[in-house]
Every structure is written in C-alpha cells, then in structure tokens.
Amino acid sequence: PILMTTFAAGGGMIPIAIGHGVGGEARSPMGVAVIGGLLASTVLTLLVVPCLFSLAEGAKHGLEARRQRKKAH
C-alpha cells in the first residue's frame, strides 16, 4: 500500500512539477518538493525504520545476554 500511494500521489504531481499552463512556473517548485518529500518518506518508511528496529532488537538481545552472564557469575 505504501508504494501504491506514493506512485499515485507522485504521478498526480508530475503535471504540477512540469509546470505547464498559466501559473505553472509558480507551482512547479511545489510539485517538485512534494515529489521529493514522497520519495524521501517512502525510503525512510521502507528501509531506514526497519533497519533501526532491527538494530534496537539486536541491542536488546545483547543486553539481555549480558545480564544473564552477570547473574550466572
């Protein structure tokens, strides 16, 4: 669903980003900014956040193992 929404919204912004028609040169930067924001948020949502969760989970398991070793001694 994330990719479908991004492609639909980005596709809808392409005509605005191209800037054809009356006032197009004024709306073009907004379209480019929206498309850039969509791409950045998609990358963050699909790649960065899961990696951070994985790192946090690994750190949690490492701390639990360290606590178990201290209790054993």
**73 pLDDT above the threshold of 80:** no
Q: What is the pLDDT of residues 12-35, one digit of tens each?
A: 999 999 998 888 999 999 999 999
> C-alpha angle with apex 62: 59 to 66, nearest 5 degrees?
140
For residue 72, the model assigns a pLDDT of 78
Please give the model's pTM, rounded to 2 decimal places.
Answer: 0.73
Torsion of CA 17, 22, 25, 31, to 10 degrees: -20
For residue 52, the model assigns a pLDDT of 96
Number of domains in the chain: 1
H-assigned helices in the chain: 2-18, 24-43, 49-72
Domain span at residue 25 reads 2-72
